Amino acid sequence: MRTLLWFRGKDLRLADHLALRSATDQGELIPLFVLDPFFFAPARAQATPYRIQFLLDSLRELELALAQRGSRLVLAEGKSHELVPRLARQWQVDRVVAQRWCAPLGRERDRRVAEALEVPFELFEGETLHVPGTLRTTQGKPFAVFSAFARAFSAGPTPPAPLPAPERLPALPRGVSLPSSLPGLQQLGLQRNELVLTGGEQRARERLAAFLQGPARNYHEARDRLDLDATSRLSADLKFGTLSAREVWTEARAALSRRARPAVTSFLNELVWREFAHALLWEHPTLLEEPARAEWERFPWRGEGTEWQAWVAGQTGYPVVDAAARQLLASGFVPNRARMIAASFLTKHLLVDYRLGEAHYQRWLTDGDWANNNLGWQWCAGCGSDAQPYFRVFNPTLQAQKFDPEGRYVRRWVPELARLPAAHLHTPWLAPASALQAAGVRLGRDYPAPIVDHAAARQRFLEVAKKHFGVGRAPSA
Ligand code: FAD
């Protein structure tokens, strides 16, 4: 049996890879990665620079790991749905195997590949802890509410333990050439950004171990703090599959269960949010275009005006919102609480369409993931199936004072305010002239005055929402 194992960017590992296990159990193996212009054409790569950097790191390590075990990663350039069937024919494989994708783009690609292939195309699980679409209500319907989904999740089977990486792999069969090599960042018109996490299975496992030995123990209390490195930073690893969700789940349970029950429960709960996001997108692929709740269709969102531009550039005059915007552009990461504050500000204070924010995050986040990103934006905007109620509008100042109490987060990303004392840092527009002068800040020149007033913006959003929903039609919490 000759198997073509197609790595597709959400499974860049050798451990706990069910398609790889199935292929190594049975004869000859050809590991393939397609350099599809959809991602790798320079203009496309430049549109998602940090993910491409992480992806190339991970592929380089995968190449090495396969070679160390006696195989090779075959790289080929072309459109996946044309190239994979052509190579399968050329190399006379008996079947093609891969890990299943939840996202609609991948499902459509797989449909086209399956149609064009003359041999079986077998998809294996591994993106999520459980097979997407299998967790349903007792009436057989998809869950719309997280708490019910989480209850069903815990009542279900424990995610299986992860498989170890194979120690040896079969050599490439004769006649299989290596048509391409990995492009360097510069070939794609990009430069390395040292603030972006290094990709690859090895580094992912080190990140997991460091988290479990340190911040994990206090995760439940510190995870929302913007000034502490209190979370796992595994989101890009989970997105690219440099670690499987099952490995993270199993290791976290094993490492923490005895001594830190609330912390482990809280961390595992976030992995269940990830499952929920993937289940929602699996069940409702249109979520990427439309709000989950029909009453939000045609909501009078605004577009890309000057306020949108101020939000993107980190020039809204609300330091915590600006810190999040600038951190995103500079490093490809934003902590969850800051994502929530920034997304709430864009959609509620500025009334800008959440889909613009979602696309902007999808472009710049290293962990940019269709399912999680969409869930996050729809939750913050209020239109998600289990979202923050529309009438709850975050106060960015109170959020900043609570989650960045000494202002370390804001000082790092908004350096022009760094010398303001903590008491004024989150509200420079209220600071006395003497404090601004002592800190070298001229409001309106070094740093903007707020582009909207919080109370007025909140009121405006509520009025627009009430008018849109009409009396008696407002969505319930
Ligand atoms: P940890 O706190 O250590 O959590 C562990 C893992 O659980 C994460 O790596 C992630 O895979 C998962 N997770 C955590 N929180 C959530 C959540 N709310 N929803 C779904 N999964 C979660 N996450 C992404 O992975 N990609 C995105 O594109 C993305 N976009 C977001 C956009 C918005 C507006 C919001 C509010 C949230 C978004 N999130 C996204 C969720 C969350 O912010 C990140 O997963 C988290 O900040 C990553 O940091 P971490 O790995 O240290 O998380």
pLDDT for 216-246, tens place per residue?
Answer: 999 999 999 999 999 999 999 999 999 999 9
Within the chain, what is the greatest distance between any pair of CA atoms? 78
Residue 309 has pLDDT above 90, yes or no: yes
Query: Which stretches within 299-335 are classed as H helix?
Result: 306-313, 319-331
CA 465 to chain centre: 29
DSSP 154: H
Question: CB neighbours (10 Å) of residue 365?
Answer: 23
pLDDT attached to residue 359? 98
Query: 434: pLDDT confidence band, cut at 50, 70 and 90?
Result: very high
- Segment 267-272 shows an average pLDDT of 97
What are the residues whose beta carbons fall under 8 Å from the beta carbon of 240, sequence distance 6 or more? 9, 10, 12, 54, 55, 58, 199
Whole-model pTM over 0.85: yes
Q: How far is ligand 1, taken at its centre, from the CA of residue 200, in Å?
A: 19
pLDDT attached to residue 243? 98
Residue in this structure with the two tokens 């499952």, named with its chain if needed? 275
Residue 102 has pLDDT above 90, yes or no: yes
- Please identify, by atom number, the ligand 1 atom nearest to the C-alpha of residue 375: 19
CA angle 12, 18, 24 (to 5 degrees): 95
* Sign of the Cα pseudo-torsion (439, 440, 443, 449, in order): negative
Mean pLDDT computed over every residue of the chain:
95
96 within 8 A of 120, measured Cβ to Cβ? yes
Which residue's CA is the nearest one to ligand 1's atom 3?
Answer: 232
Query: 178: pLDDT confidence band, cut at 50, 70 and 90?
Result: confident
What residues line ligand 1, using a CB cutoff of 6 Å? 223, 231-235, 238-239, 270-271, 273-274, 277, 335-336, 339-340, 343, 361, 365, 367-369, 372-373, 375-377, 380
Residue 331's φ and ψ, nearest 5 degrees, are -130, -10
pLDDT in tens, 412-433: 999 999 999 999 999 999 999 9
- Segment 197-225 shows an average pLDDT of 96
- Please identify, by atom number, the ligand 1 atom nearest to the C-alpha of residue 276: 20
Question: CB neighbours (10 Å) of residue 205?
Answer: 18
215 within 8 A of 222, measured Cβ to Cβ? yes
pLDDT attached to residue 320? 98
Q: How far is ligand 1, taken at its centre, from the CA of residue 324, in Å?
A: 14
Q: How far is ligand 1, taken at its centre, from the CA of residue 10, in Å?
A: 16
- Segment 119-133 shows an average pLDDT of 96
Q: How far apart are CA 329 and CA 237, in angstroms?
A: 20
331 within 8 A of 367, measured Cβ to Cβ? no
Residue 476 has pLDDT above 60, yes or no: no
pLDDT attached to residue 387? 83
- Segment 94-113 shows an average pLDDT of 96
pLDDT in tens, 315-358: 999 999 999 999 999 999 999 999 999 999 999 999 999 999 99
Which residue's CA is the nearest one to ligand 1's atom 14?
Answer: 270
260 within 8 A of 217, measured Cβ to Cβ? yes
Q: How far is ligand 1, taken at its centre, from the CA of residue 235, in Å?
A: 6
pLDDT attached to residue 257? 61
Q: Pick the closest to residue 302 from 250, 348, 336, 246 (CA basis).
A: 348
Question: CB neighbours (10 Å) of residue 313?
Answer: 13
Element containing residue 250 per DSSP (H, E): helix 245-256
Residue 29 has pLDDT above 70, yes or no: yes
- Please identify, by atom number, the ligand 1 atom nearest to the C-alpha of residue 340: 36
Pocket test for ligand 1, best of 271, 352, 372 (most atoms within 8 A of CB): 372
pLDDT attached to residue 247? 98
Residue 54 has pLDDT above 80, yes or no: yes
Q: How far is ligand 1, taken at its centre, from the CA of residue 376, in Å?
A: 8
pLDDT attached to residue 177? 86
Q: How far apart are CA 176 and CA 33, in angstroms?
A: 14
Pocket test for ligand 1, best of 282, 331, 367 (most atoms within 8 A of CB): 367
Element containing residue 354 per DSSP (H, E): helix 354-364
Residue 394 has pLDDT above 80, yes or no: yes
What are the residues whose beta carbons fall under 8 Å from the beta carbon of 213, sequence distance 6 or more? 255
Of the candidate ranges 33-42, 140-149, 191-200, 255-264, the one whose mean pLDDT is the lowest: 255-264
Q: How far is ligand 1, taken at its centre, from the CA of residue 44, in Å?
A: 24
- Please identify, by atom number, the ligand 1 atom nearest to the C-alpha of residue 368: 28
Query: 260: pLDDT confidence band, cut at 50, 70 and 90?
Result: confident
Residue 472 has pLDDT above 60, yes or no: no
- Segment 79-108 shows an average pLDDT of 96
The amino acid sitting at 190 is L
Q: How far is ligand 1, taken at its centre, from the CA of residue 372, in Å?
A: 7
Q: How far is ligand 1, taken at its centre, from the CA of residue 48, in Å?
A: 18
